[in-house]
Amino acid sequence: MKRLFFLLTLISGLFVACQNSTPADAADTTDNTGTATEATAEGTAYTINTDASVINWEGYKPGQYGHLGTIKLTSGQLTLKDGTPESGSFVIDMNSLDETTIEDPEKKAKLEGHLKSGDFFEVEKFPTGAFEMTGVAPLEGNADANYTLTGNLTLKDSTKSITIPAMVTVGEGEVTVSTPEFSINRTEWGIVFNSGVIGTLKDNLIADDVKLKITLAGNTQVADSQ
C-alpha cells in the first residue's frame, strides 16, 4: 500500500509539473511607439530567410495545461553597421499559426480555428502582424543576449512599443537574431477572450501572458547580375 501511495504521489507530481507553465520575462511594453530607425549607406543589408525564421509561442491555462506552436514570417529585412543592428522589420503571417502538440487532427484544427477567429487574432480581417525596429542598445552581463531591441509590434489593429533582449550573431554573408523566451500581455493588443481583465472565472481563465521566442536568419542581399 505504501508503495502504491508513493507511486501515485510521484505520478501526481509529474502531472502537475507538466501542466504548469514556467514563467518568462515580460517584455517592456508602452503605448509610446517610436519612429523606425533608418539604415545608412555604410550598412550591410540582409534579407530575412522566411524558411529558416520562426516565432515560437506558448499559451496556457494557469495551473492546468498549455499549448505550443509556431508562426511563420512572410518577409523581413535587417541592416547592420559594424556588426550592430541599424534597422529592421518583419511581417508576421498570422494565417500560418500552428499548434504543434495536439496529435488529434480534429482537435488541432478546432483550436487553430479558434485562435484565428475573432475571439483572438481575427486573421480573416488582420492576416498579418508586424515588427519595426525603433531602437537598439548594447547589452552586457547576459549570456543569452548582446543587445536590447526596441520596436513597434502590431497585432490586429493595435501597435505597442516593446523592448526585448536578443542575441545577434554575424557570420560570412549571414546574420542570426534570436531572443530568449519572453512574454507579452495579449490584452494590451485588445485580445481579451477568457482573460482575467474581464473577470473570467478561474476554471475558464486563459493566461493573459503569451510566451514568445523569435529566431531570424538573414542573408546578404545579392544584386541582380542580369
SS3 162: strand
Question: What pTM, to 2 d.p., does this model score?
Answer: 0.86
Instruction: Considering only the C-alpha atoms of the chain, give the largest distance between any 2 of them, rounded to a whole number of Å.
Output: 80
What pLDDT is stored for residue 163 in this prediction?
98
Tell me the pLDDT tens digit for each residue of 199-217: 775 666 899 999 999 999 9
Q: Which CATH superfamily is domain 23-220 in?
A: Lipid/polyisoprenoid-binding, YceI-like (2.40.128.110)
170: which residues sit within 8 A by CB, 6+ positions away?
80, 83
In sign, the C-alpha dihedral spanning 182, 126, 188, 163 is positive
173-187 average pLDDT score: 97
Q: Using a pLDDT cut of 90, give the percent of the chain over it.
A: 79
36 backbone dihedrals φ, ψ, rounded to 5°? -60, 140
Residue-wise pLDDT for 10-52, tens only, equals 333 333 333 445 678 999 999 999 999 999 999 999 999 999 9
Report the distance separating Cα 214 and Cα 184, nearest Å: 13
Q: What is the pLDDT of residue 21?
A: 55
DSSP state for residue 139 in the 8-state scheme = -
pLDDT score recorded for residue 144? 96
Residue where the block lists cell 507538466: 18
CB atoms closer than 10 angstroms to residue 145? 18
Per-domain residue ranges of the chain: 23-220
Number of Cβ atoms within 10 Å of the Cβ of 92:
24
Distance in Å from the first CA to the final CA of the chain: 80
CA–CA separation, 58 and 207 (whole Å): 10
Average pLDDT over residues 114-126: 97
Amino acid at 159: T
Q: Is the pLDDT of residue 172 over 50?
A: yes
Residue 223 confidence (pLDDT): 44
Average pLDDT for residues 96-118, to the nearest whole number? 97
